[in-house]
Amino acid sequence: MVNPASVVTNDDILLKLCHSVSHVLSSTSGSQISHAGMVQSISRTRLKPDLGCFSIFDGGFSGLVVINFSAAAAIEIYRKYMVNMGMPESELAFTHTSDDVSNVMGELMNQILGDFINKISKELQTSISQSQPKMLTINKELTISVDTNLDDAVVRRVSFKTENNHTFYLEFAMDKTEFIRSVDFEMDEEFDPDSLLEAHSIQTRVTTSSNKPAVKSTDDDAGDLLDELGL
């Protein structure tokens, strides 16, 4: 009998994707992005107003990721991301229809999927690739259904909230599948590049400090001078 703890299901994979969304958006915007504890089962994925982004992935398993941002959520994330990057607020866009907003949100989607694929590759020992994310500004009267052409697809929706309580939604469709651990293995240890650089910087400062010659006090210098003069 297979130990349930050694089986990874579609919903486990979805949870990893949710963690990637929260982690990437929180770290890049310098704010708190959280996802709901409940997952909704839906029949199909859709691009919805105000800003929809999607990407297809293939390889060890196939699927589709859609993120639908409200205008308020998109602008909040965009502006906090740009300010966190050092851009002055006066130079930032104010509407979600701006090309700059679409470009930034598309880049963030790319980072989310990159983080997700990296985790999946390590934890499930499989390889998947993604298409370039596509970002569309959608008006209130339009909803676009996205067919996945998957056999026995599992389709889910998860809601997210920004720090200012603006909501956006992740929709996820993939082949119904399970990954079953057949042998024990150790995953490569993950590291945070920022933490590594900070640790290296601290070590450098400590080494530099320890190599500095000791500075004599004024009293010691005066005593040495008197000794040389024989006084």
Q: Can you tell me the distance from the alpha carbon of 65 to that of 73, in angstroms, rounded to the nearest whole number?
A: 18
Taking the model in full, what pTM does it have? 0.77
Residue 136 CB neighbour total at 10 angstroms: 14
Bond before 184 cis per omega within 30 degrees: no
The structure tokens listed for 211 are: 């190599």
Q: How confident is the model at residue 230 (pLDDT cuts 50, 70, 90)?
A: low
CB 171 within 8 A of CB 66: yes
Give pLDDT tens digits for 47-95. Answer: 999 999 999 988 888 899 999 999 999 999 999 999 999 999 999 999 9
Indicate whether 224 pLDDT > 90.
Answer: no
Which one has a higher pLDDT value, 211 or 49? 49
CB 102 within 8 A of CB 51: yes
Percent of the chain scoring above 70 in pLDDT = 75
Q: Can you tell me the distance from the alpha carbon of 216 to that of 205, in angstroms, rounded to the nearest whole number?
A: 22
Q: What is the pLDDT of residue 209?
A: 55
Q: Can you tell me the distance from the alpha carbon of 155 to that of 51, in angstroms, rounded to the nearest whole number?
A: 20
CB 192 within 8 A of CB 210: no
Q: Can you tell me the distance from the alpha carbon of 26 to that of 35, in angstroms, rounded to the nearest whole number?
A: 11
Which one has a higher pLDDT value, 201 or 156? 156
Indicate whether 215 pLDDT > 80.
Answer: no
Give pLDDT tens digits for 77-89. Answer: 999 999 999 999 9
Length of the chain: 231
Residue type, 68: N
Return the closest-CA partner of residue 72 out of 153, 180, 165, 1.
165
Q: What is the pLDDT of residue 149?
A: 73
